[in-house]
Amino acid sequence: TGYAVEKKVVKSKMGEKVGLPCCHEIPSSESLYNYRVYWQKNTTEVVLAYAEGKKIPQHNRYEKRAEMDTRNLTLWLSPVELLDNGPYQCVVQHRRYSQNSVVVCDELVTLFVTADFSEPNITAEVSANSCESTEMVVSCSSHGGFPKPKISGTLNNVSVAWNASWASESSLSPYNVTGKLWLNVTKDVSISCFVEYDGLTKSTSLLLKKTNSCVVPTVLPSYNVITASSIIIIIFLLAITLAARYLPRHGKCSSFFKKWSLT
C-alpha cells in the first residue's frame, strides 16, 4: 500500500494499491449528492469524477483501476502502473441552495511510483591468460526497475567505477542497467555490484579466481634424467672396455718377469 512522504507527495510501488488524499472531507450531515468532485491528472485526464452523486465518464486508462472514498474523497488506484507517475489534482465544488457551485478546495498531490530491480547478476569472461595474471571482462546487470538507477562496485572492498549503460523504452518504462569492468587479476579477488534507486539498494558479490595457465613441461626433468643416466652408462662401459684391454696385457708382462727372474 502506498504511503505519504509529505502532505502532497505519495510514494508507491508498481503493482500495489495507493491512496491519494483529497483536500476536503464531506461532513456526516451531507452526502456526495451536494458536491462535484474531480480527480484529474495533468489537468487533462479525468481519473475519476462525480457530479451530484453520479459518476462522470473517465479516461479509459483508469477504468476498473480507480475508485473513490465517498466520505474523505481519497482516490484509490490499483494496481499502480509506472504511467501513473505525476501530479494529480483534486477539485471539490459544493452545490449551495442555488445552482451556483462554490469551490471548496483545489489541491495538487504528486504520485511517485517505483519498481524494484532484480538482484544484480555478475558474470566474468576470461579474455587473456598468462602465468602472472588473468585478464577478465566482468559484467553486472539488473533489470525491470524504476527510476533510473546508479550502479557502483567494490573490488576487495575498494571502490571501482563501472562503465554503465541503461536501456528503457520511454521515460516512464522499466530500466535495464549493465556495468562492465576490464580487470587484470593477479590473485583471487572479491567483486561486488550495487544497484541503487530511490534510496534502495540491490547488491551481489562474486569471487573472481585467477586462472593458472602456466604449463610446466614434464618432459624436461625426464629428459635430464635420461641424459644423465646415459652418460653414466657410457662412462661405465668405456671403463669396462679399457679395463678388459689393459688387464690381459698386464698379466703377460707379469709372467714374463717371473720367468726372467728364475733364469
pLDDT digits over 176-214, tens only? 999 999 999 888 999 999 999 999 999 999 999 887 656
Instruction: Give the model's confidence band at 67: pLDDT under 50 very low, under 70 low, under 90 confident, else very high.
Output: very high
pLDDT of residue 262: 46
Q: Identify the CA nearest to 167 among candidates 176, 158, 180, 179.
A: 176
pLDDT of residue 134: 87
Instruction: Give the model's confidence band at 42: pLDDT under 50 very low, under 70 low, under 90 confident, else very high.
Output: confident
Give the architecture-level CATH label for domain 118-208.
Answer: Sandwich (2.60)
Return the domain boundaries, the chain.
8-114, 118-208
As a whole number of angstroms, the distance between CA 142 and CA 108 comes to 34
Collect all residues with Cβ–Cβ distance below 8 Å to 249 and sequence separation of at least 6: none
Q: Is the pLDDT of residue 18 over 90?
A: yes
> Phi and psi of 49, rounded to 5°?
-150, 150
Is there a cis peptide before residue 57, judged by omega within 30 degrees of 0?
A: no
Q: Is the pLDDT of residue 154 over 90?
A: yes
CB atoms within 10 A of CB 28: 7
37-50: average pLDDT: 92
217-226: average pLDDT: 54
CATH of domain 8-114: 2.60.40.10
As a whole number of angstroms, the distance between CA 140 and CA 121 comes to 5
Please list the helix, strand and coil fractions of the chain in percent, rounded to the nearest 5, in that order. Answer: 20, 50, 30
User: What single-letter DSSP state applies at residue 115?
Assistant: B
Q: Identify the CA nearest to 190 among candidates 177, 215, 207.
A: 207
Q: Is the pLDDT of residue 150 over 90?
A: yes
Instruction: Give the model's confidence band at 7: pLDDT under 50 very low, under 70 low, under 90 confident, else very high.
Output: low
pLDDT of residue 6: 46
Collect all residues with Cβ–Cβ distance below 8 Å to 93 and sequence separation of at least 6: 35, 36, 37, 38, 101, 102, 103, 104
Share of the chain above pLDDT 70, in %: 82
CB atoms within 10 A of CB 57: 8
50-74: average pLDDT: 93
Share of the chain above pLDDT 90, in %: 64
**pTM, 2 dp:** 0.71
User: What single-letter DSSP state applies at residue 59?
Assistant: -
Fold equal for 8-114 and 118-208: yes
Q: Is the pLDDT of residue 52 over 90?
A: no
First to last CA, the chain: 136
Is there a cis peptide before residue 147, judged by omega within 30 degrees of 0?
A: yes
